[in-house]
Structure formats: structure tokens, C-alpha cells
A and B are shown apart, each in its own frame.
Chain A
Amino acid sequence: AQSVTQLGSHVSVSEGALVLLRCNYSSSVPPYLFWYVQYPNQGLQLLLKYTTGATLVKGINGFEAEFKKSETSFHLTKPSAHMSDAAEYFCAVSGAAGNKLTFGGGTRVLVKP
């Protein structure tokens, strides 16, 4: 069984500032981890994923995430926030790459000019 906890349902950042979204997971098997972004009234877009290998994963739009097994974390970061980053972000885990996903509660990002 898997579960995901996203710390902070809302995050407010200034344009140009660091974006940090926290995700902790639990899994009884080696996890496959994902970050998705959702814009209003739209589906989810894959930002990045971790399956095996390098623990620092780079994704689209300047985002990256680091898998830390000892901390059971997969936090998402972006060095400099852009207004277009305002959206809802979901962390998800599965027991294998294509199997069903378990989502966290989501974090809504607000970017202030």
C-alpha cells in the first residue's frame, strides 16, 4: 500500500523566488514517484518522475525533484518562480511505473508579482 502527504495545501511565493513543494510518501515496495501540475479546469501534466537511477530528477519548466529514500521524500523545487507557475501541484506514488497512482492532497501555488 502507498500513501502521499504534501505539506502545505497553499504556498505563496514572490516572482523570482525559490519554489519548494514538499512531498513525503510511504510505500511497501520501491516507489515510483511523480509530480504533476494542474491548471484550472484542465487535466494533469507530468512535470517529472523518478523510477530508478539518479536521485535528482529534472523536469519541464525548470522544475526538479530529489528522491531521498532515507527521508521518504520527493520535494519539488524551482530556483526562480514565474507567474505562469501559479497552479495546483500533485505528488503521486505507484508501486511500478505504469500502475495505479496514489495522489497527495495537492499544493496550490500562488505567485505574487
Chain B
Amino acid sequence: GAVVSQHPSRVICKSGTSVKIECRSLDFQATTMFWYRQFPKQSLMLMATSNEGSKATYEQGVEKDKFLINHASLTLSTLTVTSAHPEDSSFYICSARYGGGVTDTQYFGPGTRLTVL
């Protein structure tokens, strides 16, 4: 149980284009999902918290107009990188909140590697 998938696993795009990444909770409903960014050999940095049916909450320094997040259902959140540039190249990982109370835990997707040429 508590499986999270991401699609695509890898994407290469040209500078200036937009890329959409999907995060799905496969066997549970997640009212809250999180989006992280990870640079090579570095830790994960939280970008935003995605709540089903409401606007995402972005961390300080993250451009909400560049990284559009939509959490349209209890099993799907999407991250769209708009007008991508080479500096947006990174490994993007989502997680979904599962359980309740002290059992509440984040389960992570396998990640999406974005390369912007």
C-alpha cells in the first residue's frame, strides 16, 4: 500500500516550452501532496504544498507563476513548469500524505528528471 507514481520519469524539452509532471497516489486518497526539487548531490528542497480543491502554498523564493500546481482530485496533483529554462533542469519529486494522526506519513514518488536544453 501507499504507492505514489510520477509521470513522466524523464523529460527533455526546449527552452521556453512548458512541461507538466503528474503525481498520483495509486491506492489511497491524498488531500495533501508536496513537491520537492533536488539538485545533483544535494538534499530535497520543498517547493510547495498542494491541497486538494484549493490553491497551493509555495515556499519562500519559489515563483508560483512559473511552477503551477493543480490538485484537482484526491489522487492527482500536477506541477507545470512554464517557460522552462536550463536553470530549471532538476530532479522533481512529489510526495503524498497518507494516514492520520501519528500514523500520518509522506510517501514519495520515483521522481521526474527534467532537462531543459
Specify the chain B residue showing the minimal Cβ separation from A53: B102
- Once bound together, how far apart are the Cα atoms of A103 and B46, in whole Å? 9
Q: A-side binding surface: helix, strand, loop or mixed?
A: loop
Indicate whether A36 reaches chain B with its CB closer than 8 angstroms: yes
Indicate whether B43 reaches chain A with its CB closer than 8 angstroms: yes
- B44 is contacted by which of A45, A46, A98, A103 (Cβ under 8 Å)? A103
Q: Within 8 Å CB of B64, what residues of A?
A: none
Specify the chain B residue showing the minimal Cβ separation from A104: B43
Most buried by A among B99, B103, B105: B105
- A83 CB to closest chain B CB (Å) equals 21
- B111 is contacted by which of A34, A43, A102 (Cβ under 8 Å)? A43
Indicate whether B67 reaches chain A with its CB closer than 8 angstroms: no
- Once bound together, how far apart are the Cα atoms of A100 and B94, in whole Å? 12
Specify the chain A residue showing the minimal Cβ separation from B5: A43
A30-52 contact mask (Cβ, 8 Å, vs B): 1 or 0: 00001010000111111001011
- Once bound together, how far apart are the Cα atoms of A34 and B104, in whole Å? 12
Q: Within 8 Å CB of A43, what residues of B?
A: 4, 6, 93, 108-111
Task: Given the known inter-chain contacts A97-B99, A100-B34, A105-B42, please indicate yes or no for A42 contacting B105, CB distance below 8 A.
Answer: no
B65-91 contact mask (Cβ, 8 Å, vs A): 1 or 0: 000000000000000000000000001
B6-40 contact mask (Cβ, 8 Å, vs A): 1 or 0: 10000000000000000000000000101000000
Q: Within 8 Å CB of A42, what residues of B?
A: 110-111
- A98 is contacted by which of B4, B42, B105, B113 (Cβ under 8 Å)? B105
Most buried by B among A36, A44, A102: A44
A-B contact pairs, 11 of them (CB 8 A): A42-B110, A42-B111, A43-B4, A43-B6, A43-B108, A44-B95, A46-B105, A98-B32, A100-B46, A102-B46, A104-B43
For the complex of A and B, 6 pairs with smallest distance between CB atoms: A98-B104, A97-B104, A43-B108, A44-B108, A51-B102, A43-B110
Residues of A bordering B, CB below 8 Å: 34, 36, 41-46, 49, 51-52, 90, 96-98, 100-106
